């Protein structure tokens, strides 16, 4: 191939990629291309295989190391078991009370479908472009599905490619979550901030916000269900004009994810969707 042709090819490739990039930017809702999904389908199984092998090796090493410790623990546990059997009788009454409470909790649960477990195959939280890749199994996954752990909110699915998904974490600068302060129920928008912190916008200065206040999802953004812990307030400063500048620390330690849960996305009802599209 002549030098001139190669230069034209270079220009073509660069322009093509710029178009691909700008198509993603144009959409507020981070559209993904067929190319991205295909590449994810191609590369993710390899990533999962490597991750699985590494986990198997470390677990094998761990097994040898813990075998001796397990023997000692076994002896100790036998003694403790006797004591616990005695305690068991005492806790019987508490168990009955707990059963009643769990029935009440399941009744109050708004979400119809149970959460699904997904394995984390790649987590790169240290880099400035954070990445979370999941293996979701045969059932597949949909875009916008909220991703949570037992501690709180992780993010939402932005690329769905068969059994694999890419997640936008809440600490991503372009991520935003409709949230509320648990104590006062005041709503605001939580955005990704500096490094591992989050920022909460649109909370007026009149509102009393305290360090240590818990922030939950408000269920107003059409993605996340209401009541999932987002983070805890670590600093409150007066902002430039009408609003506080609030910093939060995420409820979930995003650097230590192993398994996560996928929830059903909170869909906007079709009638409201039409109104929303028209207003745009």
Partner 1 sequence: MRAAKFLAGLLAATIVHVLGVRMVQDFSSAIDVFLVVALFNARGGSPFAGLLGGLVTGWCADVMTGGLYGAYGFCNTLVGYGAAVAVQRLVIEKAGGVFLLFSLGAAVQQLLLLSLSRLLRPGAPAPELTGLMVMFTTVGLTGALGFLLRARLVRWRAAWRRNQSATLR
Contacting range for partner 1; rule: CB under 8 A; set: 67-75, 87-95, 118-126, 206-214:
118-126
Backbone dihedral angles phi then psi of residue 123, each to the nearest 5 degrees: -130, 115
Q: Is 9 in the site for partner 1 (CB under 8 A)?
A: yes
d(CA 65, CA 172): 38
User: Which lies closer to partner 1 via its Cβ, residue 170 or residue 180?
Assistant: 170
Burial 105-126 (b: 16+ CB within 10 A, else e): eeeeeeeeeebeebbbbbbebe
Q: For partner 1, what does the binding mask look like between residues 23 and 52, x meaning CB under 8 A?
A: -xx------xx-xx--xx--xx-xx--xx-
d(CA 184, CA 200): 14
Strand, coil or helix: 127: coil
User: Which lies closer to partner 1 via its Cβ, residue 9 or residue 242?
Assistant: 9
Shortest Å distance, C-beta 176 to partner 1? 12
Q: Is 232 in the site for partner 1 (CB under 8 A)?
A: no
Evaluate the CA torsion angle 172, 250, 125, 47 in order and state its sign.
negative
Q: Is 56 in the site for partner 1 (CB under 8 A)?
A: no
Site for partner 1 in 251-280 (CB under 8 A): 255
The single-letter DSSP state of residue 134 is E
Evaluate the CA torsion angle 27, 31, 34, 40 in order and state its sign.
positive
d(CA 278, CA 158): 24
The two structure tokens encoding residue 94: 């508490």
Shortest Å distance, C-beta 256 to partner 1? 10
Q: For partner 1, what does the binding mask look like between residues 142 and 181, x meaning CB under 8 A?
A: -----------------x------x-xx--xxx-------
The two structure tokens encoding residue 15: 């322009």
d(CA 10, CA 179): 45
Contacting range for partner 1; rule: CB under 8 A; set: 12-20, 59-67, 68-76, 136-144:
12-20
Shortest Å distance, C-beta 202 to partner 1? 17
Backbone dihedral angles phi then psi of residue 124, each to the nearest 5 degrees: -120, 85
User: Which lies closer to partner 1 via its Cβ, residue 79 or residue 126?
Assistant: 126
Total chain residues near partner 1 (CB under 8 A) = 47
The secondary element (H helix, E strand) that includes residue 9 is helix 3-26
Q: Is 17 in the site for partner 1 (CB under 8 A)?
A: yes
User: Which lies closer to partner 1 via its Cβ, residue 126 or residue 270?
Assistant: 126
Instruction: Give the binding site for partner 1 (CB under 8 A).
Output: 1, 3, 6, 9-10, 13-14, 17-18, 20-22, 24-25, 32-33, 35-36, 39-40, 43-44, 46-47, 50-51, 54, 122-133, 159, 166, 168-169, 172-174, 255
């Amino acid at each position: 191939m002549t030098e001139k042709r190669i230069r034209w090819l270079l220009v073509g490739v660069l322009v093509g990629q710029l178009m691909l990039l700008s198509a993603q930017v144009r959409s507020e809702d981070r559209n993904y291309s067929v190319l991205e999904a295909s590449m994810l389908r191609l590369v993710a199984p390899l990533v999962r295989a490597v991750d699985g092998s590494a986990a198997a090796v470390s677990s094998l090493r761990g097994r040898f190391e813990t075998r001796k410790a397990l023997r000692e623990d076994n002896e100790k546990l036998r003694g403790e078991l006797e004591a616990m059997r005695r305690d068991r009788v005492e806790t019987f009454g508490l168990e009955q009370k707990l059963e009643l409470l769990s029935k009440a909790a399941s009744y109050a649960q708004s979400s119809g479908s149970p959460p699904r477990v997904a394995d984390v195959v790649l987590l790169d939280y240290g880099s400035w472009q954070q990445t979370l890749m999941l293996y979701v199994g045969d059932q597949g996954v949909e875009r916008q599905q909220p991703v949570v752990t037992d501690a709180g909110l992780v993010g939402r699915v932005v690329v769905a490619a068969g059994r694999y998904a890419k997640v936008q974490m809440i600490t991503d600068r372009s991520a935003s979550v409709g949230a509320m302060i648990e104590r006062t129920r005041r709503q605001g928008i939580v955005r990704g901030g500096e490094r591992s912190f989050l920022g909460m916008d649109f909370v007026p200065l009149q509102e009393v916000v305290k360090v240590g206040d818990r922030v939950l999802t408000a269920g107003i953004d059409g993605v996340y269900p209401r009541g999932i812990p987002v983070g805890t307030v670590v600093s409150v400063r007066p902002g430039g004009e009408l609003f506080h500048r609030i910093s939060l620390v995420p409820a979930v330690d995003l650097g230590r994810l192993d398994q996560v849960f996928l929830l059903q996305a909170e869909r906007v009802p079709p009638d409201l969707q039409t109104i929303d599209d028209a207003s745009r």
